[in-house]
Amino acid sequence: MTSGGDAAGMNPAVKSAVDYARKCGMTPYVVEWGLRGLIEGLIHEATDDRISGILHRGGTVLGSSRSKRFFEHSFRKVAYENLQKVGISKLVVVGGDGSFNALNQFYSDFGVPFAGIPATIDNDIAGTDYCLGVDTALNMIRQSVDSIRDTAASFSRAFVIETMGRDCGYLAMTSALANGADVCLVPEVPYDLDSIAERLRVNKENGQRYVLGVVAEGTGMGETLTRWMGDALGMDARLTVLGHVQRGGSPTVYDRIMAHKFAVAAIDGLIAGDQSQVVVFKDGVFGSKAISEIADTKHVVDADLLKLSADLSS
């Protein structure tokens, strides 16, 4: 099942989990519409017609939802009874920490083991260096910034691009570095607008034709930075909020391969007897962590990335 915000890589993870589960002698099923589907019994055997041709598709063909009903024990009991009807004894959920916490409560209530596969473009789940969908989102941002750069250079304008990520600046920092941005504002790094202004003025005097800034939505600084750029640099400044375009797009090769590896690790963990674990990718190695360990740990952006992007905030 997929749950929470959609992310490219969910469909490859579903297909890989189904294929590998079959190879291991299991009978895989799929749940439509996430937690809501568990409650409403939208559970179907994962026949070929349901999972073929989904590898290259963005989003999630199974659908997703955020179900308030799942917080109530009576509805979780209905979900458990629906699983019992078809003999399901283990779950794989592709989603974020909210989905994992919901399934952990479900495990506490009824003892149904689950394996979580982290999928969120925000890349903000503690304990793992990578979440499915991040690479595709970064490439969608890169494509957009490349297009914006063309018009920025043509009119000698300043452009601010706002990325998603909630309170995590990973997308903004990585995109700023990858796209040669002049400014990057994220929640994790203090910024000095006076210092930035002086640096940009010098660059402009030396012949720089346009300015690119990347700001994380968690700073709430998109419109403010755009106005400030216009005033401080005497340039026509525009804001582009990329929004949900970052969630879409056909999964990149990296997301497809990582989805396969996450799925295999999830199935192997369930076979080995893991009860309520989240598959993590840390320092190049796949492993697993208890959801309680992930929930109690604050996510921290990689120190090297923070160091590399610090100069863009001052």
Q: Which residue has the tokens 């963990």?
A: 269
Instruction: Kindly state whether residues 113 and 181 are assigned to the same domain.
Output: no
Distance of CA 278 to the CA centre of its chain: 15
Which pLDDT does position 248 carry in this prediction? 92
End-to-end CA distance of the chain: 44
Q: Residue 103 — very low, low, confident or very high, per pLDDT cuts 50/70/90? A: very high
- Which residues does 219 contact at the CB level (< 8 Å), separation at least 6? 169, 185, 186, 187
Per-residue pLDDT for 295 more than 90?
no
Give the pLDDT mean for 1-14. Answer: 96
Instruction: Kindly state whether residues 151 and 231 are assigned to the same domain.
Output: yes
Q: Name the active-site residue from 97, 122, 135, 182.
A: 122
Tell me which residue range forms the domain holding 93.
10-134+254-297
Distance, in Å, from the CA atom of 181 to the CA atom of 178, rounded to the nearest integer, reads: 8
Instruction: Kindly state whether residues 308 and 197 are assigned to the same domain.
Output: yes
Percent of the chain whose predicted confidence (pLDDT) is above 70: 100
| Nearest alpha carbon to residue 38 among 47, 48, 30, 50 | 30
Residue 282 within a domain: yes
pLDDT in tens, 14-26: 999 999 999 999 9
Query: The CATH number of the domain where 201 resides is what?
Result: 3.40.50.460
Residue 1 within a domain: no
Instruction: Look at the chain and report how many structural domains it folds into.
Output: 2
Which pLDDT does position 292 carry in this prediction? 84
Instruction: Kindly state whether residues 139 and 99 are assigned to the same domain.
Output: no
Which pLDDT does position 290 carry in this prediction? 93
Per-residue pLDDT for 298 more than 90?
no
Residue 189 is classified by DSSP as S
Tokens of 300: 């921290």
pLDDT in tens, 104-123: 999 999 999 999 999 999 99
Residue 124 within a domain: yes
Whether residue 122 lies in the annotated active site: yes
Tokens of 265: 């690790």
pLDDT in tens, 237-256: 999 999 999 999 999 999 99
> What's the maximum distance between 2 C-alpha atoms anywhere in the chain?
72
